[in-house]
Amino acid sequence: MMQIPGSNGLGPVHAAGGYPPGGGYGAPPGGGGYGAPPGGGFGAPPGGGFGAPPGGGGYGAPPGGGFGPPPGGGGYGPPPGGGYPPAGGGMMMGGGGRVNYSGGGGSLFSVYLLGIFLPVLGVELVLGGSAAAVIAATRDSATNQPSAVGGVLGGMLLLLMYVGIFFVAVAGMNKLLKYYWDNITIEGKRCAYHGTAGGLISTMIVPLLITMCTMGIYTPWYICKMKSWIYSQVDVSGERLAYNGDGGSLLGIWLLGSILTSLTFGIYFPWYHNNLLEYEWNNTSISGRGFRFQKDPGGFFGMWLLNTLLMVCTCFIYTPWAISNQWEWEAKHIG
């Protein structure tokens, strides 16, 4: 807390060194103390007490039969500002968390199926199947090798397949982002995601290439650039989110977490993921009001382990529910 100059929280200090001048008020003239009031005490008021109000019967109710509602009707309503904590405050009291997620695995499954799985499968079947057909049709029966023309055409089709999968996957990622943010409320205000697949691709393509050329070392900067763009595309009832993280400060968290997760065969992942979420939300604000993430690696570990087992047992059909469970857990720990 910042102190006001010349103050210790009790008011200004007197110029003469205390209250009052000279170090105290001293005894009354004549010594011996102030003594009792004349007559041996103050005694009771005249008439033996204050008694009842004139007219008897007590004071009664206020005029009009009670205090009633405030002028204008409708109750007193919430306090100004919607009852949410100030910047940097913790969780809301009595109204749920500051951030809430309302989605579910069932509705996310349709986005996952129609937005990612089926489009990627379609690209593989069309372009991958075409490449295989071209190679098979130009194969020499004697050498069992495709002709030069067939090999080139087949290779080009395979290259197009991989490029197509990339663009379709990014478009699907954008649909997942829209689903997530459209099911998030912050301080009681519904979020709306306005990012496009084209904008997402143009934002990620250069950082992704740099990450590949640096053998992954550029990953923290890539993460921060993506987060910054994504948050800038989220509207919160007229307010905007801002992400202030940078790759330099994230590098240590990312490097240590990656090493420990690898050395422990993935067991350290819940702790690593909590550290990433803490960095992300602690560097995020809405109109200048910051967030705080409350880490709980033990709680996340149990959820993560159960989700992993269910995904494996269901041949990964459970994936949308696992993702939704993780988003809900994350929202509950943001204050």
DSSP characters over 35-64: -PPTTSS--PPTTTS--SPTTSS-S-PPTT
Q: What is the pLDDT of residue 144?
A: 80
Question: Would you place residue 143 in the very low, low, confident or very high pLDDT band (cuts 50, 70, 90)?
Answer: confident
Residue with tokens 């940097």: 88
Say what percent of the chain tops pLDDT 90. 66
Q: What is the pLDDT of residue 142?
A: 80
Give the bridge partners for 74, in sequence order: none
Question: Would you place residue 335 in the very low, low, confident or very high pLDDT band (cuts 50, 70, 90)?
Answer: very high
Question: DSSP assignment, residue 246?
Answer: -
Contacts of 242 (CB under 8 A, 6+ apart): 231, 232, 284, 285, 286
Calculate helix-pair angle for 269-282, 247-263, nearest 10 degrees: 170
CB 318 within 8 A of CB 310: yes
Task: Tell me the C-alpha distance between 331 and 325, whole Å.
Answer: 10
pLDDT digits (tens, 9 = 90+) for 218-252: 999 999 999 999 999 999 999 999 999 999 999 99
What is the pLDDT averaged over residues 58-81? 44
CB 333 within 8 A of CB 295: yes
What is the pLDDT averaged over residues 6-23? 38
Q: What is the pLDDT of residue 86?
A: 41
Contacts of 66 (CB under 8 A, 6+ apart): none
Q: What is the pLDDT of residue 139?
A: 86
Residue with tokens 């709306």: 192
SS3 per-residue string spanning 68-109: CCCCCCCCCCCCCCCCCCCCCCCCCCCCCCCEEECCCHHHHH
What is the pLDDT averaged over residues 306-331? 97
Q: What is the pLDDT of residue 187?
A: 96
CB 184 within 8 A of CB 170: no
Hey, what are 183's tokens?
């099911």
Length of the chain: 335
For residue 46, whether the previous peptide bond is cis, meaning omega lies within 30 degrees of 0, is no
Contacts of 149 (CB under 8 A, 6+ apart): 138
Residue with tokens 């499954």: 109
Q: What is the pLDDT of residue 67?
A: 42
Average pLDDT in the chain: 80
Task: Tell me the C-alpha distance between 134 and 34, whole Å.
Answer: 115
Say what percent of the chain tops pLDDT 70. 71
Name the nearest CA neighbour of 106 among 331, 306, 318: 318
Name the nearest CA neighbour of 282 among 326, 335, 332, 218: 335
Bridge-based pairing of strands 184-186 and 189-193 is: antiparallel
* CA 174 centroid distance within chain: 18
Question: Would you place residue 171 in the very low, low, confident or very high pLDDT band (cuts 50, 70, 90)?
Answer: very high
Q: What is the pLDDT of residue 21?
A: 39
Task: Tell me the C-alpha distance between 183 and 106, whole Å.
Answer: 13
pLDDT at 4 over 50: no
Question: Would you place residue 312 in the very low, low, confident or very high pLDDT band (cuts 50, 70, 90)?
Answer: very high
Calculate the dihedral angle through the C-alpha atoms of 99, 100, 106, 107, rounding to the nearest 10 degrees. -70
More confident residue, 191 or 3: 191
